Amino acid sequence: MVPGDAVGVVAAQSLGEPGTQMTMRTFHYAGVAERVPTGLPRLIELVDARKEPKSPLMSIYLKGEDGKKEEKAIKIAEEIERTILRQVAEVEEDFIGKEIRINALEDEMKAKGITFGELKEAVKKGAGGSSVQSEKKTIIVKPKTKSLRSIRRFANKLHGIHIKGIEKITRAIVLKGKNEYYIRTSGSNLLAVLKHDKLDGRRAYTNDVKEIERVLGVEAARNALMKEISGVMDMQKLSVDIRHVMLLADAMTMDGAIKSIGRHGLSGEKAGVLARAAFEETLKHLVAASLKGEEDKLVGITENIIVGQTVPIGTGNIKLKMKLG
């Protein structure tokens, strides 16, 4: 590599061409019911900087000697798996009495290790100040609002009340690693895992790059982007030099936050008017630039090709000075 090399063009070609060879298949991770996108769908998900992946996953390791004992790992997996109200109780609307009755399912509660007192406390917390009473194994909630539509809406909200475990982790299963057991989860909540005293936060990993950015910062997100993109390529048996992936991750995170590649991200924020107009929404960019009276300094490649000038890369990037006499 020499000064003036078109590294961006080479990186785009090196990542884009193998992308045309990728399959559209989804993949089942061991023990996880969700179909996890791989190949092109996953690559698009990453470069578009989606708020949340289609199937968020976590790999969680246990502290100390706990990872060597399968029973301990299973117990912790059961502890962190999320339980919501509809899994342990039936919610019925009483439109005549203008109240909602929650009937506890004893077998399900016993299996999840939840007491009636814990259930009632969670309902009180999630009911937002509404009156909560109980009789035998039934909790009666009297919403402040009395219209039938809002009672139905309130009942639907109660279905998803968090009772136990870590929020967003819908399933947790124990798998055998090289020298220890670890937990694979459907759903991701990195912050809660880092705070948990039985889990090794230093080795916790999620495939949700945006969540890594929120919790650990942009440098960690850059490394996660590189790992995820390389993982997609490796799974498809496509060999791409890591430097191209590094350049892509650097470009996406250079402003201190993950930005997508498309018109709402890097391509839509180019310095030159002509470069922005050449990508997508040509008319919009030209009209906006004319209204503001923008100038194009012709510093990029695209705009120089449009006006028919030598592009400022390679030999076009070199200026010669001559001394006369």
Could you give the number of structural domains in the chain?
A: 3
Whether residue 236 sits in one domain with residue 297? no
CATH of the domain at 48: 1.10.1790
Tokens 């219209």 sit at which residue?
Answer: 147
Domain boundary, last residue among 225, 253, 281: 253
Domain of 306, CATH number, reads 1.10.150.390
Indicate the residue among 231, 253, 275 that finishes a domain. Answer: 253
Closest by alpha carbon to 231, among 22, 8, 31? 22
Task: Say if 73 falls within a structural domain.
Answer: no
Query: What pLDDT score was predicted for residue 25?
Result: 63
Query: Which pLDDT score, from 0 to 100, does residue 92 have?
Result: 83
Model pLDDT, residue 11? 92
Same domain for 157 and 98? yes
Residues 143 and 101 in one domain: yes
Tell whether 108 and 142 lie within a shared domain.
yes
Domain assignment present for residue 260? The answer is no
Residue 39 domain-assigned (yes or no)? yes
Give the per-residue pLDDT at 209: 94
Domain that holds residue 223: 7-56+207-253
Express each pLDDT in 186-245 by its tens digit: 899 999 999 998 899 899 999 999 999 999 999 999 999 999 999 989 888 888 999 999
User: Which residues of the chain have a pLDDT value below 50?
Assistant: none
CATH number at residue 135: 3.30.1360.140
Q: What angle do CA 90, 82, 53 make, to 5 degrees?
A: 115
One domain, residues 104 and 157: yes
Q: What is the pLDDT of residue 32?
A: 59
pLDDT of residue 27: 63
Report d(CA 293, CA 164) in Å as an integer.
Answer: 58
Q: Which residue among 164, 191, 216 closes a domain?
A: 164
Tell me, yes or no, whether 202 lies in a domain: no
